[in-house]
Amino acid sequence: MYQYQNNILSIPARLLYKDWALMSYDSYLKNCIRGKLVRTKEGRGKDNEAWVSFHDLSPIYKEICFARIGDPKEVLVVNLLEEYIVPDIEATKFFTRHRTPSGKSLSSEKQREKATNCMILNAITSIFTEKGVLAKKFGKQKTKIWERVSESVNAINTDKWQCSLPNNPRSLKRRYDKYLKESYGAFIHGGEGSINSRRVTADVESLIVSLYCLPSKPYSSVVHDLYLQFLGGAIEVVDYKTGEIFNREDFYVNESPVEISESTIWNYINLPRNQLLIKKYRNGAYDFNHKQRPHVNRTAPNYSMSKITLDDRDIMHTKLHNGKRVMAYYAFDDLSGAMIGISHSLEKNHDLYLDCIRDMFRFTSNKGLGVPMQMEVEHHLVSDFKDGLMKAGNIFPFVRWCNPTNSQEKYAERLIGTKKYGVEKNNNQGVGRFYARGDSNRTTSQKIFDAENNNYKFSKETYKVIVANDLQEQLEYNNQLHPNQKKYQGMSRMDVFIHHVNPDLPQLDRGQLAKYIGFKTQTSIRRSQYVTVQYEKFQLENPAVLNQLASNNYNVDAYYLPTETNEINEVFIYQNDLFICECQPVPTFNRANAEWTDKDVQGYQDATKYISQFDKMVKTDTEQQLRRVAIIKNDMPIIDVTPEIVKTVAKIEEFEYEAFDEVSERNNAIDDL
């Protein structure tokens, strides 16, 4: 390797005493002292290397240099050019960000190659523009400059500088001039993205994909056969949507059909842009959404009761004796994963959903909690409540409706899976699916060979036993450790739910809630005191409630929410869709004073208190509205009338006579006959 050191052509000293072993290190030092070797650079200090003058070497050593590292005249020019090659960050960015019309980026090798080309041309520009350097490096003959520049470029070490500049001086000059004019774009091919070189045209590619997406899901070999049959006229291809028959001439290039191999069809089928279309139409929207379509990433809330997610399911591992499955509906807290609502039914209907909501509020009310901030539900079974119970602002501040057939959107789906492959799998057989990937979660079935030839063995139990087992598994699931033990160390799901409740929960209006999810019965207010619901009496809050009733109408609608033991502790009455009051059970007490307890004392006080309030209200209203009055008949006035005698003159009546026509009278008589 040759380099200029202090403007003297030099070689590394180690080549003489180490790499080539032409002399010992001591001989090298003695030759330097005697002047036989001229050091152009000392090797003192870390990472410094000694260099000796090439021109002062003996002829024997020069011949060895020619043989080992080449002619110094050629290498000298290369070294001079390489001194001006510096990294071009902008060129690297340009080719890294460049995209072809099809959206593809350049390969790493192409990016490096094109950026290196720009750096070499930049080095040539620096030599041309720097005063005095051009003549010194490449000579003063202008006609020979590009020849020497081309020699320098061709002699560049391609292991170090990967480039693809022209070898011919004239071509190199044209490329250089184009680079000065177009900058980095000079290395982008003008026909990039052109379809002229494509044997498989856009129409051919579209036909291949369309045939592959037939409902029969053909193999690529079958698609190849269908394509050849179409070109040969054996079959016709029709656009199902428009009814248009494909024209074979559209699949001809230069008046000859575009014949392609089976491997070509396979390659085009597996192009990423085509695979997306194929997987959507061959496998369906559900499979496409869950495997190919992008999705969002969500984080868990910080508080429990901030979001409740609900979903229905079928209990598959154990069935009824008639082969039917028990339906269940679950309500999970998003943060803790605790199941705070559960219901069961033989049918998947509205009552199944409402029973789950009732069970959830029974649980949260017993814990003294308010209303969940948000409910996450699906349209199935719940859409009929979108204008009432599930309308945002009526009961729950926020309601999220999940898209149909998008199970990954509902967090309840994941929590149901956690329960299923956790406590359920530990307590039951046959938990899983026949198509599950994992062997442990893949179920098997034993066929019953009977006349129907379509029956299989399965676990059987009664409805009560299946429900009881599911309720027991709910308790076991809630008492398991929370999955995030790093954050909630030693805490179960229920512990996390209880101790991390959202402090901003709205207060629960039980009267409004009962109107939406409670049971309803029509009744009437009796004795100005109570209503009867399920054969039990419930007393009004106070007698003043009667003033809220419509005129001459004591009929009301009573809503109530039974407890887990089917007891009714309170009733909410409405009239004409307006809330009237909350009614508690009528207070009672023992008729025998000797047997009174504290409960009887309290019952007596409450009963007499209501009566006292009623009497006071009636007395007050009597004093304000009722006055004792009497009726006095007034005497009729006497009118004195004196008669007046009026004299009248009798009028003499005058008679007029008509002329008698004998002929006419006779004719009339004849006509009357």
What is the per-residue pLDDT across 83-119, written as a single tens digit (0 to 9) for each? 788 888 998 988 888 877 666 788 888 899 999 999 9
Q: State the burial class of residue 195 (Cβ atoms within 10 Å of its Cβ: 0-12, 13-18, 19+).
A: exposed
Q: Which residues pair with 456 in a beta bridge?
A: 447
Q: What pLDDT, in 10s, does the model give residues 468-495?
A: 999 999 999 999 999 999 999 999 999 9
Alpha helices in 270-404 (DSSP H): 272-283, 285-291, 350-366
Tell me whether residue 567 is exposed, middle or buried, using C-beta atoms within 10 angstroms of its C-beta: 0 to 12, 13 to 18, 19 or more: exposed
Residues 6+ apart with CB under 8 A from 571: 531, 533, 538, 558, 559, 560, 582, 583
**CATH 3.30.420 is right for the domain spanning 308-499:** yes
Is pLDDT at 397 greater than 90 in this prediction? yes
Residue 665: pLDDT above 90?
no
Return the percentage of the chain with pLDDT > 70, whole number: 89
Task: Supply the pTM of this predicted model.
Answer: 0.64
Digit-coded pLDDT (tens) for 146-186? 887 887 787 777 777 888 888 888 899 899 999 998 898 88
Sign of CA dihedral 246, 250, 251, 252: positive
Per residue in 333-358, pLDDT tens? 999 999 999 999 999 999 999 999 99
15: which residues sit within 8 A by CB, 6+ positions away? 22, 68
pLDDT band at 76 (very low <50, low <70, confident <90, very high): low
The C-alpha atoms of residue 313 and residue 317 are separated, in whole angstroms, by 12
Looking at residues 207-212, what average pLDDT do you find? 92
Looking at residue 196, its pLDDT comes to 45
| Residue 603 neighbours by CB under 8 Å, 6+ apart | 587, 588, 589
pLDDT range class, residue 444, cuts 50, 70, 90: confident
Strands (E) in 367-467, as ranges, are: 374-378, 398-402, 447-448, 455-456, 459-460
> How do the domains of the chain map onto residue ranges?
3-70, 89-187, 202-291, 308-499, 510-586
